[in-house]
């Protein structure tokens, strides 16, 4: 009875011992598998280096074109200043054109960045898919004790399937989230590009309208210059004709003045001659009257006429400036 009791107490231990040995073997196998398994390394460094080299080349090109672009900017600013002096542009044309240029530059940069991110996403997805796989571990043990390993293998397989499923779910979730972010970014960029194109079309319409106005203004300017030239020529011809007529009128005026002076001189001479003749006529008339009166007095003996009787208060019938004359029988004439 004493020998049987220990054997009865040891009966439950062999299954536990076999289970512990199996667990130990499984753990050793996992440990070796994890030690021999290489870490998942991504091959993305060349991709980043290529993108960095591309950015450096673009930066070098921009630096190399800096001087030329500065000269072009100066030239464009001078031309724009000339256009501003000649024409009146809307106040928002410069801002719209600068905003258009900025949007075009940003669009090119965003397209390049989207292409790079898409390529990077494809590379990372390919690397993750290449490292995500189901792992099946076969453990060989001494089955001399006829241990039942099916349950252990099924459990390990279940664990591995669970791990693979979780990894696949995580990768799929990450993939879908990345796709959603990319879709959102693409939609935003598409909307930005659409607005940019609309602004570009609007600016093109404004430029065409301004070009049409510029052509109309140039044609009007040409017509006005032609009219001004014709007016100047007509004015010069009219001024020349007026100067010629003025010279002729001045000559005619001078000649008329000379003729007037001659006529005045002749008129003065004629007036003087007429005055002398009027005086003589008045003198002779008085003499005749005196002679006739003296004869009549002598004939009748009524009156005695002196030899030298003065005749006064005689006024010429012709215009003699209203002067009185005195005439004697001896033909003496006095002017008062």
pLDDT at residue 173 is higher than 80: yes
Same domain, 31 and 152: yes
Same domain, 166 and 41: yes
Q: Do residues 26 and 152 touch, judged by C-beta distance below 8 A?
A: yes
pLDDT value, residue 227: 92
Structure confidence by residue, pLDDT tens digits, 269-305: 999 999 999 999 999 999 998 888 887 776 655 444 4
Measure the CA angle with vertex 202, ends 200 and 207; round to 5°.
90
Examine the fold and report which residue of 161, 184, 219 is the final residue of a domain before the chain moves on. Answer: 219
CA distance 22 to 99: 73
Residue ranges making up the domain that contains 212: 19-219
Examine the fold and report which residue of 219, 252, 282 is the final residue of a domain before the chain moves on. Answer: 219
Structure confidence by residue, pLDDT tens digits, 126-160: 766 665 554 555 656 555 555 556 777 778 888 88
CA distance 30 to 137: 8
* DSSP letter assigned to residue 135: -
Q: Residue 266's pLDDT band (boundaries 50, 70, 90)? A: very high
pLDDT value, residue 104: 79
The model carries a pTM of 0.27
Which residues are 114's β-sheet partners?
none
pLDDT over 70 for what percent of the chain? Answer: 69
9 within some domain: no
For residue 286, which of 253, 310, 266, 252 has the smallest C-alpha distance? 310
Q: What would the two tokens of residue 160 be?
A: 């591995």
For residue 94, which of 254, 181, 210, 242 has the smallest C-alpha distance? 210
Q: What would the two tokens of residue 173 be?
A: 């979730």
**How many domains in the chain?**
2
Q: Do residues 289 and 273 touch, judged by C-beta distance below 8 A?
A: no
pLDDT value, residue 300: 55
Q: Do residues 134 and 98 touch, judged by C-beta distance below 8 A?
A: no
Structure confidence by residue, pLDDT tens digits, 194-249: 888 888 888 888 998 898 999 999 999 999 999 999 999 999 999 999 999 999 99
**What 3-state DSSP class applies to 220?**
helix
Structure confidence by residue, pLDDT tens digits, 295-334: 777 665 544 444 434 333 333 444 444 433 333 333 333 3
Same domain, 284 and 202: no
The count of residues in the chain is 336
Same domain, 28 and 154: yes
242 within some domain: no
Residues whose CB is less than 8 angstroms from the CB of residue 106 and which lie 6 or more positions away in sequence, other chains included: 192
């Amino acid at each position: 009875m004493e020998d049987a009791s220990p054997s009865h107490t040891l009966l439950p231990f062999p299954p536990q011992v076999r289970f512990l040995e199996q667990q130990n073997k499984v753990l050793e196998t996992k440990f070796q598998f994890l030690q021999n398994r290489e870490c998942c390394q991504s091959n993305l460094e060349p991709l980043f280096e290529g993108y960095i080299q591309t950015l450096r080349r673009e930066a070098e090109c921009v630096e190399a074109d800096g001087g030329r672009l500065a000269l072009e900017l100066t030239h464009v600013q001078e031309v724009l200043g000339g256009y501003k002096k000649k024409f009146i542009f809307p106040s928002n044309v410069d801002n719209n054109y600068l905003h258009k240029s900025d949007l075009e530059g940003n669009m090119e940069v965003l397209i390049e960045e989207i292409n790079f991110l898409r390529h990077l996403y494809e590379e990372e997805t390919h690397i993750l898919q290449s490292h995500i796989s189901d792992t099946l571990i076969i453990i060989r043990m001494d089955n001399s004790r006829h241990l039942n390993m099916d349950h252990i293998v099924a459990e390990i397989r279940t664990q591995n399937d669970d791990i693979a499923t979780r990894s696949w779910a995580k990768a799929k979730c990450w993939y879908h989230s990345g796709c959603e972010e990319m879709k959102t970014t693409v939609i935003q960029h598409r909307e930005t590009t659409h607005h940019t194109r609309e602004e570009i079309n609007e600016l093109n319409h404004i430029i065409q309208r301004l070009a049409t106005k510029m052509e109309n203004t140039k044609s009007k300017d040409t017509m006005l210059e032609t009219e001004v030239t014709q007016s100047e020529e007509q004015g010069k011809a009219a001024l020349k004709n007026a100067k010629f007529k003025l010279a002729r009128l001045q000559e005619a005026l001078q000649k008329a003045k000379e003729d007037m002076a001659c006529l005045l001189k002749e008129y003065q001479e004629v007036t003087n001659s007429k005055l002398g003749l009027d005086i003589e006529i008045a003198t002779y008339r008085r003499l005749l009257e005196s002679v006739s009166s003296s004869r009549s007095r002598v004939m009748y003996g009524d009156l005695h006429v002196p030899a030298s009787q003065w005749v006064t208060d005689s006024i010429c019938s012709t215009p003699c400036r209203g002067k009185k004359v005195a005439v004697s029988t001896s033909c003496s004439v006095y002017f008062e």
